[in-house]
Structure 1
Amino acid sequence: MATMRIETLDGDGSFDAYVAEPEGAPRGAIVVIQEIFGINQGIRRKCDRFAAEGYLAIAPDLFWRLEPGIQLDPDVEPEFKCALDLMGRFDQDQGVKDIEATIRAARGRLSAADANRAGKVGVVGYCLGGRLAYMTAARTDVDASVGYYAVGLPNIIHEKNAIAKPLLLHIAGADHFVPPEQQQAMHEALDGHPRVTLYDYPGEDHGFATEIGKRRSDAAARLADERTDAFFAEHIG
């Protein structure tokens, strides 16, 4: 399993990230932001899929300050409970800084691959990662962001005014972690934003686009991934 070491922005430490490289020169880079289950098999498969599309894909271990290297299975109840505990203790603001460090590292890898081309970097996140993708869009200079079934956006929706680059959000219509009133608040705040696109998936529950496990809903997952691929092709390369 290929990994790279990434230095924090303030130089107080470093953390591992899973790396999937394309066959040829990368068309850009995608930072894949984990769910609450760590850099597990499903997240690594996401990276591998983006690499197959020609991108350098990097998934940073955002739980490294809590449980470095942890990998959890959402279909196993004790592991799911462990993931919820980790999410409760996770510093999201610090997590965004680690994502920004990963974006910088990705740009460095792209420059090393082709010094004559300034490659673009996007982020894509799932669940907690979807929320972090929104925060990354508002707080960093990332070139494009995608969030799948982002949790808890209404309490940070005011950060929309700082979003300057394209953002795509996939909303699960029957998400038991994001009730209808939260989905409505997201639409009311973001439908008129010139840089934000929202897609709804009626009847789909949280985690519908996971690569493996019981949560996957194949038709909706394929549709969302096709939209994500088109979005990155337009904005990353």
Structure 2
Amino acid sequence: MTDVKITSKDGSGSFAGYLAKPKSTPAPGIVVIQEIFGVNKVMQDICDWLAGEGYLACCPDLFWRLEPGVQLTDQTEEEWQQAFGYMQRFDVDKGVEDLQATADFLRNQNTCTGKVGSIGYCLGGKLAFMMATRTDADANVSYYGVGLDALLGEAGSIKNPLLLHIASEDEFFPAEGREKVQTELADHPQVTMHVYEGNNHAFAREGGKHYDPEAAETANSRTLAFLKSNLS
């Protein structure tokens, strides 16, 4: 597990990424996309988990243009307010560019097979959807992505498999928007959706307020099966 430097596509600088390597390489790559709390222990643990499952996993610092090295938790109101502040100022289009740069970085490693997917949570769940519509990632997974209804106009650009984990009681994604996503993507040949009834936003965030171990295990098992099917 190490920190790496990734060059931005617009030439404005470089940003850090937390990289976790599997025991056996070459391996498929995974771009792990942060929540609004930065590349904190939760994200690092996810990279380590994926490395343990045989993937080369990298979580890039997407807030580097605002403030490099953000690592907040979800345990205090002050940190929540800081996190919302970063999210409000975050340029999602530049974020997707940085994610593509991370995917390119992984593909160029001799420890990577050349296949690269993404997994995103919360804000990262939205960005994983955008990875599916705007980048060449081979497979993408979105956990409780927010605001996906506003991105449905891009759905025609989804050429590679996309897995959506949707919380039925997501406090940050109103029911009307969630239902629109489910209705409009129901017949999309590249999209698989699972709704987790009775679960709130971030049900898979270990240690979080709405963490549901059973739902998280189900979602993670589905994710691993999806990745194996599409990145092997």
Query: What is the CA distance between 1:57 and its match in structure 2?
Result: 0.3
Q: In the alignment, which residue of structure 2 is the partner of 1:123?
A: 118
Equivalent position of 2:173 in the other structure:
178
Residue aligning to 1:69: 69
Runs of 4+ that moved beyond 2 A: 211-215
Is the 2:50–2:57 contact (alpha carbons within 8 Å) kept by the matching residues of 1?
Answer: yes
* Secondary structure of the corresponding residue to residue 119 of structure 1: strand
Code of the residue aligned with 1:138 in structure 2: it is T
Could you say which residue in structure 2 is the equivalent of 1:153? 148
Letter in 1 for 2:151: I
Three-state SS of the structure 1 residue aligned to 2:108 is helix
* Code of the aligned partner of 1:224: A
Among 111, 114, 122, the residue aligned to 1:113: 111
Q: Among the aligned pairs, what percent are the same residue?
A: 49
Partner SS state of residue 120, structure 1? strand
1:39 matches 2:39:
yes
Post-superposition shift, 1:71? 0.6
User: TM-score, normalised to structure 1's length?
Assistant: 0.96
Correspondence for 1:211: 206
Map 1:9-158 to 2 at 5 A: 9-109=9-109, 112-113=110-111, 118-158=113-153
CA distance in 2, matches of 1:129, 1:212: 18
Which deviates more, 1-10 or 187-196?
A: 1-10
Q: Note the 1:218-237 alignment, pairs <5 A.
A: 218-237=213-232
1:35 maps to amino acid:
E
Report the CA distance between 1:132 and its aligned residue: 0.3
Q: Give the count of matched residue pairs.
A: 232
The one-letter code of the counterpart of 2:225 is A
Given that 1:26 and 1:54 are in contact with CA atoms closer than 8 Å, whether structure 2 keeps it comes out as no
